[in-house]
């Protein structure tokens, strides 16, 4: 049995799958925010709960909103800031009495979809989370490619390519730079653009609903988001040329993206020739927790 844990800023979800990827059981609890020891204790309790429910023991993988530095072994870049500077993998391994594997949550999405999701069996998979923020992850042959700096796939903090005068220098990001992709192609970015161009405050979900109802302001703001997303994905193709993109997160539910992006990509990809499929994550919200479980991959 494999256990995956998705450590989010508001909830911790844990799931157990059997050797065929069939879900056995799952459970979630609220994240003890700003409480590191409480976070460890909550994960240990979840794992024990799944094991007593199934009567089996499992390997454990965890997805976190950050990464572990190769250099220091400490968590970095987590927006759940109480994890930063901690040896989370070692502390969890000690608390659970077994080796725990940890990866960035967007990398977990890529691994999940590459293993038995929308991109099953593909060689190079680029996963994109379009949620409150925007993250990216790379899986090669179903395994995380984090890289020596742990920043593989961190596309959300590259600047928007081919910026127009009005897009320069762009909004300030929490990472300290201006104009990051995250500030444009995310729920936050969509709501910000809508507010700046219309003067009205609406959530990303409301804007997408208005777009689907054909409201002009929403059509314009989604048009800009799709063009910006196409520019960002084009630079990924120009560097990595993945076999497939898989989109997860709340905005990935907007079906128009899958018609629009393939038409826009040739405007930006070098040479204009693009056949890269852009697919919706098969497991939706569960991709992160499934990918964490698959950090202990099938024997190949
Ligand atoms: Zn940034």
Which stretch of DSSP H or E encloses residue 194? helix 187-198
pLDDT at 299: 61
As a whole-number percent, the residues of the chain with pLDDT over 70 amount to: 99
Check: CB of residue 180 under 8 Å from CB of residue 157.
yes
Ligand 1 center–CA 69 separation, angstroms: 18
Whole-Å CA distances, 297 to 20, 97, 120, 271: 11, 20, 13, 37
pLDDT digits (tens, 9 = 90+) for 139-194: 999 999 988 888 899 999 999 999 999 999 999 998 899 999 999 999 999 999 99
CB-CB contact of 154 with 133 (8 Å) = no
pLDDT at res. 297: 85
Cα 134 to middle of ligand 1, angstroms: 10
Specify the 3-state DSSP secondary structure of 38. Answer: helix
CA 181 to ligand 1 center in whole angstroms: 7
Q: Which helix (H) or strand (E) holds 261?
A: helix 256-264
CA distance linking residue 269 with residue 250, whole number of Å: 26
Give the bridge partners for 6, in sequence order. Answer: 13, 63
Q: How many Å lie between the centroid of ligand 1 and the Cα of residue 156?
A: 7
Say what the pLDDT of residue 298 is.
72
Q: pLDDT tens, 75-90?
A: 998 878 899 999 999 9
Ligand 1 centroid to 59 CA: how many Å?
A: 34
pLDDT score recorded for residue 79? 77
Measured in Å, residue 145 CA sits from the centre of ligand 1 at: 21
Distance 251 CA to ligand 1 centre (A): 19
Print pLDDT tens along the chain (300 aa).
999 999 988 889 999 999 999 999 999 999 999 999 999 999 999 999 999 999 999 999 999 988 999 889 999 988 788 999 999 999 999 999 999 999 999 999 999 999 999 999 999 999 999 988 898 999 999 999 988 888 899 999 999 999 999 999 999 998 899 999 999 999 999 999 999 999 999 999 999 999 999 999 999 999 999 999 999 999 999 999 999 999 998 899 999 999 999 999 999 999 999 999 999 999 988 999 999 999 998 764
Q: Per the structure block, which two tokens stand in for 237?
A: 């193709």
In the three-class reduction of DSSP (H, G, I as helix; E, B as strand; rest coil), residue 290 is classed as helix
Residue 273 Cα to ligand 1 midpoint, Å, equals 30
Bridge-based pairing state of the strands 23-30 and 2-7: unpaired
3-class secondary structure, 203 = coil
Return the residue matching tokens 């927006």. Answer: 79
Chain centre to alpha carbon of residue 232: 15
Rounded distance between C-alpha atoms, residue 191 and residue 119, angstroms: 30
Question: What's the CA-to-centroid distance between 70 and ligand 1, angstroms?
Answer: 21
């Amino acid at each position: 049995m494999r256990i995956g844990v998705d450590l989010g800023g508001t909830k911790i979800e844990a799931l157990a799958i059997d050797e065929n990827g069939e879900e056995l059981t799952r459970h979630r609890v609220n994240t003890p925010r700003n409480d590191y020891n409480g976070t460890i204790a909550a994960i240990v309790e979840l794992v024990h709960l799944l094991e007593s429910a199934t009567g089996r023991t499992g390997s454990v993988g965890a997805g976190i909103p950050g990464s572990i530095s190769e250099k220091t072994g400490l968590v970095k870049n987590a927006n759940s800031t109480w994890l930063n500077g901690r040896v989370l993998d070692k502390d969890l391994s000690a608390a659970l009495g077994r080796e725990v594997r940890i990866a960035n949550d967007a990398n977990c999405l890529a691994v999940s979809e590459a293993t038995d999701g929308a991109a099953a069996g593909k060689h190079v998979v680029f996963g994109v989370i379009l949620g409150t923020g925007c993250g990216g992850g790379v899986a090669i042959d179903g395994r995380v490619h984090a890289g020596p700096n742990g920043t593989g796939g961190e596309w959300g903090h590259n600047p928007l390519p081919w910026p127009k005068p009005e897009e320069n220098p762009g909004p300030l990001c929490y990472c300290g730079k201006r104009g990051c992709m995250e500030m444009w192609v995310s729920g936050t970015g969509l709501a910000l653009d809508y507010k700046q161009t219309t003067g009205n405050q609406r959530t990303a979900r409301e804007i997408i609903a208005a777009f689907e109802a054909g409201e002009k302001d929403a059509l314009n703001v989604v048009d800009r988001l799709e063009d910006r997303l196409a520019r960002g994905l084009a630079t990924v193709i120009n560097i990595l040329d993945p076999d497939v993109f898989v989109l997860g997160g709340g905005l990935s539910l907007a079906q128009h993206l899958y018609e629009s992006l393939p038409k826009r990509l040739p405007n930006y990809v070098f040479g204009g020739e693009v056949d890269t499929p852009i697919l919706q994550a098969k497991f939706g919200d569960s991709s992160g927790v499934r990918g964490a479980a698959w950090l202990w991959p099938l024997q190949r």
